[in-house]
Amino acid sequence: MDYLNAFLCGGILCAIGQILIDKTQLTPARILTGYVVAGVLLSALGLYQPLADWGGAGASVPLTGFGHLLAKGVQKAVSEQGWLGVLTGGLTAAAGGIAAAVVFGVVMAVLFRPKAKR
């Protein structure tokens, strides 16, 4: 059942993104940043954690999950360090994922040479 919930949750989030691409004039970059902001807002309202508990990886892997991770990191750092945590909490919580993205991006850039579009 966990696999089905993850599939449904992730599928619905992706379907919403595809509808936004098809039916609006929003650029993909604006939709992506909107998903991160939506994850932060839903987390701040206490609505994202129940979704993450139900959807598992279907809720934590998309960009809304990244926003939720940032919000949780800031919340934890503020409770431990005070206002300084606003500046450090999100990056501390997401450091592993950000570092992995940079390392894998460099590895792919070394292994594969980009070609100009024609």
Whether the pLDDT of residue 115 is over 90: the answer is no
Q: 112 phi and psi, to 5 degrees?
A: -120, 130
The pLDDT mean for the chain works out to: 89
Give the tokens for residue 2.
């966990």
DSSP secondary structure code for residue 82 in this structure: T
Stated as kind and residue range, the H or E segment containing 87 is helix 84-111
Task: In whole angstroms, give the CA distance from residue 60 to residue 88.
Answer: 21
Report the predicted TM-score, pTM, of the whole model to 2 decimal places. 0.77
User: 53-109, pLDDT tens digit by residue?
Assistant: 999 988 888 888 888 888 888 888 888 888 888 888 888 888 888 899 899 999 998
Q: 95 phi and psi, to 5 degrees?
A: -60, -40
Task: In whole angstroms, give the CA distance from residue 38 to residue 16.
Answer: 12
